[in-house]
Amino acid sequence: MYQPKTIPEIPLPDDIDRREQLTRERIFPRLTKSEAGGGKKAEIFYERLETEFPRLFRTLYHLYGNRYDFYYHLEDLLHRMAGIYSERSPELRARDLNKEKNPDWYKSEKMVGGICYVDLYAGDLKKLKKKIPYFKELGLTYMHLMPFFRCPEGESDGGYAVSSYRHVRKDLGTMDDLEELATAFHEHGINLVVDFINNHTSDRFKWAEEARRGDPDYMEHYYMFPDRTLPDQYDQTLRAIFPEVRHGNFTRVDEIDRWVWTTFHSYQWDLNYRNPAVFNAIAEELLVLANRGVDVLRMDAVAFTWKKMGTDCENLPEAHYILQALNAVASVVCPGLLLKSEAIVHPDEVNRYIGSVECQLSYNPLLMALSWESLATRETKLLAHSMKHRFQIDENCSWVNYVRCHDDIGWTFSDEDAAELGIHGNDHRSFLNRFYSGRFPGSFARGVPFQHNPENDDMRICGSAASLTGLEKGLEDNSSNDIDLSIKRIEMMYGVAYSIGGIPLLYLGDEWGVLNDYSYLETPGKVHDSRWAHRPDLRKGAKSDLVVNDVAKRLTAWFKKMGAIRSSEPVMGNTITRFPDQPDPHLFTFLRGQGAEKLLVIANFSEFERKLHNDWITDQLHAVSYRNLLNGEHRSVHNELHVDPYQILWLKPVSG
Q: Write out the catalytic residue numbers.
A: 300, 342
Burial grade of 27 (CB within 10 A; 0-12, 13-18, 19 or more): middle
CB contact at 8 A, 591 and 500:
no
CA 624 to chain centre: 40
Element (H, E) at 465: helix 465-468
Cα separation, 24 vs 167, in Å, equals 36
Q: Which residues of 360-379 are buried (b: 16+ CB within 10 A; e: fewer)?
A: bbbbbbbbbbbbbbbbbbeb
The H or E element spanning position 27 is helix 16-27
Return the percent helix, strand and coil in the chain, to nearest 5: 45, 15, 40
C-alpha dihedral (118, 114, 346, 574), degrees to nearest 10: 150
Strand partners, 409: 461
Backbone torsions φ then ψ of 452, nearest 5 degrees: -70, 130
Amino acid identity for residue 538 in this structure: L
Q: Which residues pair with 640 in a beta bridge?
A: 613
CA 61 to the chain's CA centroid: 28
Q: Which residues contact 382 (CB under 8 A, 6 or more apart)?
A: 370, 373, 374, 413, 417, 418, 421, 423
CB 224 within 8 A of CB 260: yes
Which amino acid would we find at residue 342? Answer: E
Q: What's the CA angle centered on 61, arms 59 and 67, to 5 degrees?
A: 145
Element (H, E) at 195: strand 191-196
Contacts of 412 (CB under 8 A, 6+ apart): 344, 345, 346, 347, 350, 365, 366, 369
Q: How much is the CA Rg of the chain, to the nearest whole Å?
A: 25
Q: Are the CB atoms for 57 and 63 separated by under 8 Å?
A: no
Which residues have a Cβ under 8 Å from the Cβ of 29 and sit 6 or more positions away? Answer: none
CA dihedral 345, 350, 352, 357 (to 10 degrees): 120
